[in-house]
Amino acid sequence: MSKPKGSKANTDYMNDFNSGTDEEFEQSVQKSEEDFGSLLSESFKNQSKRLKVGDKIRGKILNLGSEEVFVTTGTRHEGIVQRKEFFDEEGKALFQVGDTVDLFVTLVKGSEIRLSRNPTDRNLAEDLKQAFDQDRPIQGRVVEVCKGGVRVNIKGKLAFCPISQLDSARVESGEEFIGRSLEFKITEFSEGGKNIVVSRRKLLDVERETGMTSFLADTQDGAVVSGKVTRLETFGAFVELAPGVEGLVHISEIAWSRIGAPSEVLTPGQEVQVKLLKREVLNGRAKISLSIKQVNPREEAEVKKGERAPREDLSSKISIGQLFDGKVTRKEVYGVFVQLEPGLNGLLHKSRIGDSKEIQFEKLRVNDTIRVQVVEVKGAERQISLGLPGVAGEDDWRLDYKTDSAASLGTLGSKFAAALQKKK
């Protein structure tokens, strides 16, 4: 009996199957077993994997429900996210089914796993701890003043910044910093993030030192540079020359004329040209001395070495009766000092205000603008007395009296001399 004849396709398949060696066949079987074992192991691993609150996972969106969104969690249980976290304010979906998103575990209760796109307190604490360990700056917003400093909101956690660490310059209360977002350095982190202390000054000091090194390398004494007035003190004005680099303009170097306070000429934020006078290092810190007045040479003859420069006679540029819209720079019990122009100030005595309805001495404040009239000028002494336009002061009669008296005496004396001459 003859053997049944198989099809050519089956014959070719068997030939191909038997064409490999026994060794190749064994390797193929072994690889298949390893792949299956790996998949099975990973499956058991995912089933036994346990999540805890604060874990960060990456899940795939399975379904966008009417109230909740279901995502994979890498375990045998699906995770649940509030639907509103996947839609914007206008109700438009931010993600679609199949998208992969980063999520944080907020609740694990049996097979129920709750997730959120927002980090938990544990995640925030870990981020801040990492910033502390890495000495990395972090953004924060000053929210309120407290005893000894201010409280700063950093990623939802409150930190304390001592008043001395809020700025490189002296800070009185910290009120002016409320609401401002600034960079801070975490100097203390303990109790799992319940106790956080930060400093802004340490960052500013580093910035200043870096900027100072670069500035000093590129700029020489005698150079004229641009700067911005940052703050005024009784002894002078601080000018920012570069980020983190400040110099001091002593009050004697602000103007050629004598001024009572830097505020008579300068205001914070004002752009100025300054000349570098001297650079030195004191107690490990660089000090830069500046001058504003030396940028604009004095309009006087050259002064010989050892001689005192003559004082400018104001009578050549200011006349009695001249009107100015000046700014109040200082207030004293006896009157107010008014800046007529930069470097030129006069005194409006309290008695010259009198019973004016427009101006009341008690209500005058520094930086108020007031219209004044020049009453008297002592050019050599650089003293200017001011009054209100059209209002006479209580001692103006003395000027008139002296003038009238001199004229009367002159007339009487002339007549008496003429009579004596006639007698002779």
CB 336 within 8 A of CB 330: yes
Please indicate, yes or no, if residue 42 is contained in any of the structural domains.
no
Written as six digits, the tokens of 300 are 């006087």
pLDDT (tens digit per residue) in 291-339? 988 887 654 433 444 444 445 556 567 788 889 888 888 888 888 888 8
Q: Is residue 204 part of a domain?
A: no
Instruction: Collect all residues with Cβ–Cβ distance below 8 Å to 327 and sequence separation of at least 6.
Output: 338, 339, 367, 368, 369, 370
Q: Tell me, what's the pLDDT at 167?
A: 87
d(CA 123, CA 118): 9
Q: Which domain holds residue 341?
A: 314-398
Q: How far is CA 167 from CA 172, 183, 184, 269, 347, in A?
A: 11, 11, 11, 17, 37
**Residue 356 falls within a domain, yes or no?**
yes
pTM above 0.75, yes or no: no
How far is residue 230 from each of residues 24, 209, 233, 271, 272, measured CA to CA in Å? 81, 18, 10, 10, 11
pLDDT block averages, 10 residues each, the chain of length 424: 50 53 59 55 54 83 88 88 85 88 84 80 71 84 91 86 87 87 88 84 81 75 88 89 84 81 83 86 75 72 43 66 86 84 81 79 85 81 80 44 42 49 50
Same domain, 128 and 111: no
What is the per-residue pLDDT for 12? Answer: 54
Q: Any idea of the CA torsion for 68, 72, 73, 74, to the nearest 10 degrees?
A: 170
pLDDT digits (tens, 9 = 90+) for 177-229: 999 889 898 888 887 778 889 999 888 888 777 777 777 777 788 888 888 99
Q: Give the tens place of pLDDT for each residue, 277-293.
A: 987 767 656 788 999 88
Tell me, yes or no, whether 46 lies in a domain. Answer: no
Whichever domain contains 129, its CATH number is 2.40.50.140
Domain match, 235 and 290 both? yes
Which ranges in 6-120 belong to alpha helices (H)? Answer: 8-18, 22-48
Let me know if residue 303 belongs to a domain: no
Total domains present in the chain: 4
Asked, for residue 353, whether it belongs to a domain, the answer is: yes
- Residue 327 has a pLDDT of 87
For residues 384 and 340, state if they share a domain.
Answer: yes
Q: Which of 116, 133, 150 is the last residue of a domain?
A: 116
Whether residues 336 and 278 share a domain: the answer is no
Could you tell me if residue 40 is inside a domain? no
